[in-house]
Amino acid sequence: MTPPADETRLFECDTCGGVGIGHNRPNCCDGPMAAVETAETAVSEPSLETLLQTVFDMSGTELDVCLCVMEGGELTVAELAEQIGYDRSVVARHLNHLADFGVVEKRRRIRPEGGHVYVYTPQPPEVVRERLRGEFLSWVRLATAQLGDLQREKVESIADAGTDERQWTVFQEE
């Protein structure tokens, strides 16, 4: 089954095994990458919560904090904690994580009565989407490298066994 032209597709280089994601066929090594057919897969489509939790290490609580800032505009930790009923330290930790991702902007505001407070402002949705997309692509690159290491580690451990016996018998059915 061929996906629609405007759908994001997965590509793989036949030479080096590199992976590409996009709308147009990227080039790698000695030419265009091959499209990977993903119509029949054992992998189910992740929910947004699963994606955010897996890739960005966001808990359900952090997602709540993120959505509240997105809807509430400029907020302090105290204002947000009161609004959503979480402890201030929990809210502060999640807001700092979201600021590291570039999903919210953290600014210091001087208080008229003295001292300062940090305020958190949501980034525009297109900025959030692009930041998360960039982080996701980095995650995919790292995950792909892990899969390559898995294969290499298995082959190397078999080769390092120093015996003529088959090392893969563990994986055979009895």
| Domain assignments of the chain as residue spans, ordered by start | 1-40, 60-124
Q: Is 69 exposed, middle or buried (0-12, 13-18, 19+ CB in 10 A)?
A: buried
pLDDT computed for residue 1 by the predictor: 47
Please write the tens of the pLDDT for every residue from 151-171.
Answer: 666 666 666 666 666 555 444
Element (H, E) at 119: strand 116-122
Please write the tens of the pLDDT for every residue from 99-121.
Answer: 988 889 999 999 999 999 999 99
Q: Which CATH number fits domain 60-124: 3.40.50.150, 1.10.10.10, 3.90.1170.50, 1.10.286.10?
A: 1.10.10.10
Q: Which residue has the higher pLDDT, 173 or 37?
A: 37
Task: Give mean pLDDT, residues 40-64.
Answer: 82
